[in-house]
Structure 1
Amino acid sequence: MFLFFAADSRFTQQELPACKPILTPGWVITTFICVGILFIPIGLACLFASEHVVEIVDRYDYDCVPSHYRNDSILFIQDSKTNKTCTRSLTVTKQMKSPVFIYYQLDNFYQNHRRYVKSRSDKQLRSKSHEGDTVSCKPEAVTANGAPIVPCGLIAWSLFNDTYSFSVKNKGLDVSKKDIAWKSDQDHKFGSDVYPKNFQNGSLIGGAKLNSSIPLSEQLDLMVWMRTAALPNFRKLYGKIEVDLHPDDVITVIIENNYNTYGFGGKKKLVLSTTSWIGGKNSFLGRAYITVGGLCLFLAVTFILVYVIKPRPLGDPSYLSWNRNPATRGN
């Protein structure tokens, strides 16, 4: 069905009723003041909440390489016979109320690369009936015998495989994996009838292996990893410690340093963090609100001075085209 409009209709002449505010100095100054008064308290509240987040960051990729391998870290990480276990000690500086979130942070890892992001099959992840849908997964699509790899693609193949265990005063701390992945991923994107198959069976192992007896809908670490990061430096949730950590507690961390970031100059960090009502530690949001609010107040004061010192007469709004009588516009 097609709609035709006359050449002189109100629609074609753009004369339909519309909101056409007149930005007088009073309206502009008032708007800037209101935005400034609103944004600055919000920014201060965000900064206050961020400052109360307790965070411990420990870079371990360099120190967890034995001194005689420091000049050839790649050989160390690729050799299956070397001992990858590393022990680190972290000191709690302030009270950390549960849950304490555990993140692993990777730097200089470009998960946003176009070919990397496309190397996956959402249909295969969702349903067993699409097990053979591996066209978009190259080069990790099928085995040498042509059997499909489940889950296929470079994203799953490069799954992070460092592991952490924690203890305080020789008492182990349980790491909970509950709710670390999005509920929508568990319910809709990863099928309960899809099991790992032919995964990491090639000559070149990319990362962690998966238990073939557990469906993808329960592989929480995989779900977290499959949500690719937009920036080259990112954190992903590893688990949660559901007990309080007290000041001066010394946390002993046993790390299995398996993941190869040495080949591309990457960095690995372990992060323990509490949260606030705005999430983790993030001063950018508060500073952004304060900056915008301050800029608006500065512009408001500037416009007030200009308006008082060197005022200009306002035009008569009745002469605006949309306020004039259509019959007299041609005169």
Structure 2
Amino acid sequence: MEKPSQVWWSLLPDNTALKQQRLPAYRLQLSASKVLSGFFATGALCLGMGIILLLSAKSIKEIEGNVYMYYKLYGFHQNLYHYILSRSNSQLMGKNIKDVERCDSFKKTHNGTPICPCGAIANSMFNDTIILLYNINSSIYIKVPMLSRGITWWSDKFIKFQNPNSYDLSSAFAGTAKPPNWPKPIYELDEKDSGNNGFINEDFIVWMRTAAFPTFKKLHRQLNRVQHFTEGLPAGNYSFDITYNFPVTRFRGEKSVVLSTLTWSGGSSLFLGLAYTVTGAVTWLASFSMMAIHLMLAKRKMFFPNYKVKL
């Protein structure tokens, strides 16, 4: 039987540089001046970026150049946990349109027919019809040409959403039912453009990318710069013809339409600029606080060289 000292000795790791952690290493030793310089530089960078982004967002014009139409919802919480999970990715990718198991709600109809697309996100899709009219004179209004294509992310359009492999979408979706709140099935969403139907319908794809905050806007259309609108939206009087389908009173919300242009930094949202500005301000505040503490300790050491701080 081994002695206790021998057992203890056998449990020790091997006497190697790796297991005894004697490998050469670089130990970063920063002085107070280097740390403070880094904080000040980071704060200045964030403040500068924040100011530039805020000025860029403020410079967006409302009627000239490439004009984009958004719908904006207030008080609609697309960020709820169960709401976000209520979808079937295998269904949306066209692999198995009857796979509704991951949809917590709106899986099947009362008679057991799978809903396609299933889930709470798809069922609550925004479906107002918005038409912009331009008043040429006191009595003549013309419809402003808008494009329903090119409003989605490339990764969504060509990777995350795919139709079943079939030349006839109506037969491909046979044996499924439309969501309860939808007036027509998925393969008839766009009656004017047959290539914009099914899971690759761009309005549907835009809606399925859930928003992080309860107040959000989503891209709906972009201006087709032809005829009277080659230079953008000319100055004049405009009106909207809106078919009200999407109810907002049930969740005590509001909705609006936004016409805007874009800059190099994106749309008119101030969030990114404010985030950079606040980060820079907080970093500078921390820098001044650390500098004050450093100077106070340096002054104390000057007058009391033998002073030591015990922790």
TM-score, normalised to structure 1, is 0.70
Q: CA deviation at 1:240?
A: 0.8
Following the alignment from structure 2 to structure 1, what is the Cα–Cα distance between the partners of residues 103 and 271? Answer: 37
Of 69, 75, 79, the residue aligned with 1:112 is 79
Of 30, 36, 40, the residue aligned with 2:43 is 36
Quick one: structure 1 residues 30 and 208, their matched pair in 2 at CA, closer, same or farther if it must change by over 3 Å? farther
Of 177, 184, 204, the residue aligned with 2:155 is 184
Matches of residues 193-272 of structure 1 in structure 2 within 5 Å? 193=164, 195=169, 196=173, 198-200=176-178, 205-207=180-182, 209-210=184-185, 212=187, 215-243=197-225, 244-247=232-235, 249-272=236-259
1:139 maps to 2:105: yes
Residues 57-107 of structure 1 deviation map (CA, whole Å, 9 limit, x = unaligned)? xxxxxxxxxxxxxxxxxxxxxxxxxxxxxxxxxxxxxxx333211111112
- 8 Å contact from structure 1 (residues 160, 208) kept in 2: no
Following the alignment from structure 1 to structure 2, what is the Cα–Cα distance between the partners of residues 173 and 259? Answer: 22
Task: Give the corresponding residue for 1:47.
Answer: 54
Q: CA deviation at 1:255?
A: 0.6
Q: CA deviation at 1:19?
A: 3.7
For structure 2, the 5+ residue unaligned runs are 1-10, 136-140, 189-193, 226-231, 303-311
Following the alignment from structure 2 to structure 1, what is the Cα–Cα distance between the partners of residues 46 and 34? Answer: 18
Following the alignment from structure 1 to structure 2, what is the Cα–Cα distance between the partners of residues 300 and 115? Answer: 42
Residues 6-35 of structure 1 deviation map (CA, whole Å, 9 limit, x = unaligned)? 355444554444442223122122212322
- 8 Å contact from structure 1 (residues 186, 217) kept in 2: no
Quick one: structure 1 residues 303 and 98, their matched pair in 2 at CA, closer, same or farther if it must change by over 3 Å? same
Tell me the matched-pair count: 266
For structure 1, the 5+ residue unaligned runs are 56-95, 315-331
Identity %: 31
Q: Give the aligned residue type for 1:264.
A: F
Q: Secondary structure at the match of 2:187?
A: coil
Task: Give the corresponding residue for 2:126.
Answer: 160
Q: CA deviation at 1:256?
A: 0.7
Quick one: structure 1 residues 145 and 5, their matched pair in 2 at CA, closer, same or farther if it must change by over 3 Å? farther
TM-score, normalised to structure 2, is 0.74
Matches of residues 51-130 of structure 1 in structure 2 within 5 Å? 51-54=58-61, 96-127=63-94, 130=96
Task: Give the corresponding residue for 2:276.
Answer: 289
Q: Give the aligned residue type for 1:290.
A: T
Following the alignment from structure 1 to structure 2, what is the Cα–Cα distance between the partners of residues 233 and 21? Answer: 45
Task: Please report the RMSD computed on the Cα atoms of aligned residues, expressed in angstroms.
Answer: 2.9
Q: CA deviation at 1:279?
A: 0.7
Q: CA deviation at 1:297?
A: 4.2
Following the alignment from structure 1 to structure 2, what is the Cα–Cα distance between the partners of residues 250 and 206? Answer: 35
